[in-house]
């Protein structure tokens, strides 16, 4: 089995949201900036006050690669590792899954999907059939 997330006090709300199929991210109460992963302070303005917000789970592939050699046991290959720019203004490193995942390109619109792995639920992304590539 692949390695599973080990939630910390700071990241537990994110993982609890994933179990409920809700993609959460921090948003600064001072400057309004969205960011990920969660930090003790906003990376833009250094304010300590931020709150969890729900994302619509839609974004654009910023970059991706197909992994053919697993970094450790438990990862089925090949798989797509991608950085997704979410519409709310933060980015997330994730996997792209589903039909056509191995052919995903920069600019492709994607939407969140949920993958059960053991007792954890992971946010992954799949091609969004309702939206065209942003690069087109």
Is 85 inside a domain boundary? Answer: yes
Is 42 inside a domain boundary? Answer: yes
Residue 69 in contact with residue 91, Cβ under 8 Å? no
Read off the CATH number of the domain in which 86 is found: 2.40.50
For the chain, what percent of residues have pLDDT higher than 90? 84
Q: Which domain holds residue 121?
A: 12-127
Q: Please give the pLDDT value at position 85.
A: 98
Is 136 inside a domain boundary? Answer: no
The string of pLDDT tens digits covering residues 30-53 is 999 999 999 999 999 999 999 999
Q: Please give the pLDDT value at position 38.
A: 97
Is 99 inside a domain boundary? Answer: yes
**How far, in Å, CA of 23 to CA of 113, rounded?**
10
Domain count for the chain: 1
The DSSP string of 1-41 is --------TTTHHHHHHHHTT--EEEEETTT--B-SS--SS
Q: Scanning the structure block, which residue is given the tokens 């954890």?
A: 120
Mean pLDDT of the chain: 94
**How far, in Å, CA of 82 to CA of 11, rounded?**
21
Is 133 inside a domain boundary? Answer: no
The string of pLDDT tens digits covering residues 64-74 is 999 999 999 88
């Amino acid at each position: 089995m692949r390695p599973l997330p080990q939630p910390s006090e700071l990241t537990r709300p994110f993982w609890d949201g994933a179990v409920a199929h809700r993609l959460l991210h921090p948003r600064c109460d001072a400057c309004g900036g969205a960011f990920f992963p969660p930090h003790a302070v906003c990376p833009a303005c250094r304010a300590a006050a931020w709150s969890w917000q729900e994302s619509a789970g839609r974004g654009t592939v910023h970059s991706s690669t197909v992994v053919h050699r697993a970094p450790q046991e438990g990862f089925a290959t090949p798989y797509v590792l991608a950085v997704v720019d979410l519409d709310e203004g933060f980015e997330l490193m994730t996997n792209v899954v589903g039909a056509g995942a191995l052919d995903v390109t920069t600019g492709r619109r994607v939407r969140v999907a949920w993958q059960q792995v053991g007792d954890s639920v992971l946010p992954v992304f799949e091609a969004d059939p309702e939206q065209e590539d942003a690069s087109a």
